A = this chain, B = another copy of it.
């Protein structure tokens, strides 16, 4: 028999599935160095034969390892252990078998997803089931509060539009989106975020994920992307699924360090200057200028500004968008209504600078719109008739109340934690001063039914000197739930 580089002993009687066992074995072999970087793995078919398991079982284990970055799949060549550079980018936390959070309330991505675990770099392969205690209070940093959504208004607008609807509404609209809605978004972005654009620069699409896929077609295949570290893991996964090499740039209190960015070969930097996720850092004007200067210095450099939650801030006037300061046509501005209105509203928008707009039109302007005209028309009226503004004002007030409530509830925590992130967004950060690990803190909380989030799940490179940092989101919780959850944390952490 051919000499295999791996010698897995499967235990069919184990509580772990065969897939998990294969996955864990190979992961440990890589982490320990027994499997060397660039080493080729046996083909899935061969390994399945050898282990007498189904091909699907091996495919799933390999798929999981690929999605976590341990392996690379090279088409027609097979699976290879990732290179050291890539491996070092994998947080050890990811090494644990992820549990799926099916059915737990409040778990959603930054306003986009209601069904998927946020810790995006954790695996999402089917069949991976954790055995977690029941969570009663989920401090997800992503969930939003839908209790105040003006359902009646939305329904009324829909009814009226359908009453008035001519058959035009049932025909396919323009690939970039309906001109009326683009005009409305253009005005809204100019007024609220200082974005300078014409409606023709706006592309409306069914969600940020789709717009990033479209942007891949516009930017091309061989783009090296810089991201803040820690960052929004879902965007990271999309860039990885585009096979873009990703460079992680450290942050300081002003955001992405442009001096470090300059030492990379990145052409495109993905940033969240208004309110970085998850650190909450707001990038001051000086750093923004540095970033814009970097972009303008070479052809084909662009900044992707993800302004995902610009609507919710409580203290001070927010800076306008980065796009507002861009005079060289280097910023791609992306925003969504999924967070400000409802996750079901599959409408996001992207503002392209002119050079990219030309390329979009030539190379992918033929892609049909992904949003129906009816939905676009409803949204347009919701904004134009002032309901959007009114709803935003109400939600700002509600979220501000919760924000003050959680800060009050956390007052006693100050003797053990540094609390930050108090200007905006829907979460606060707690940095432990007693040398405990994030895992330890999260585990004792989970055992009492409280889920908090670990900063390491958003860090793209291990930093052993970083203090343990917990993320507590409160968007979807009621005041009472916040108080009860925090009171449990008080018992187990203080």
Q: Taking beta carbons and an 8 Å cutoff, which residues of A are in contact with B?
A: 45, 55-56, 59-60, 63-64, 66-67, 73, 75-76, 108-109, 112-116, 120, 123-126, 146-147, 149, 151, 154-155, 158-159, 162-163, 165, 167, 169-175, 206-210, 213, 217, 220-223, 234, 237-238, 241, 243, 299-300, 338, 342-346, 354-355, 358-359, 361-375
Q: Give the residues in chain B near A158, CB-CB below 8 Å.
A: 158-159, 162
The quantity of this chain's copies bound in the complex is 2
Flag if B358 contacts A56 (CB, 8 Å): yes
Given A158-B162, A170-B342, A370-B207, A363 and B63 touching (CB < 8 A)? yes
Q: Report the minimal beta-carbon distance from A300 to chain B, rounded to whole angstroms.
A: 8
Flag if A370 contacts B370 (CB, 8 Å): yes
Flag if A115 contacts B76 (CB, 8 Å): no
Q: Give the residues in chain B near A213, CB-CB below 8 Å.
A: 213, 367
Q: Give the residues in chain B near A368, CB-CB below 8 Å.
A: 109, 112-113, 116, 207-209, 346
Flag if A124 contacts B366 (CB, 8 Å): yes
Closest B residue by C-beta to A169: B344
Given A75-B221, A343-B172, A372 and B375 touching (CB < 8 A)? yes
Flag if A206 contacts B371 (CB, 8 Å): yes
Q: Report the minimal beta-carbon distance from A2 to chain B, rounded to whole angstroms.
A: 18
Q: Give the residues in chain B near A165, CB-CB below 8 Å.
A: 151, 155
Q: Which of A56, A66, A154, A209 has the most CB of B within 10 A?
A: A209
Give CA–CA (A206, B56) in the complex, Å.
29
Flag if B155 contacts A170 (CB, 8 Å): no
Q: Give the residues in chain B near A76, CB-CB below 8 Å.
A: 222, 300
Flag if A209 contacts B367 (CB, 8 Å): yes
Q: Give the residues in chain B near A149, CB-CB below 8 Å.
A: 167, 170
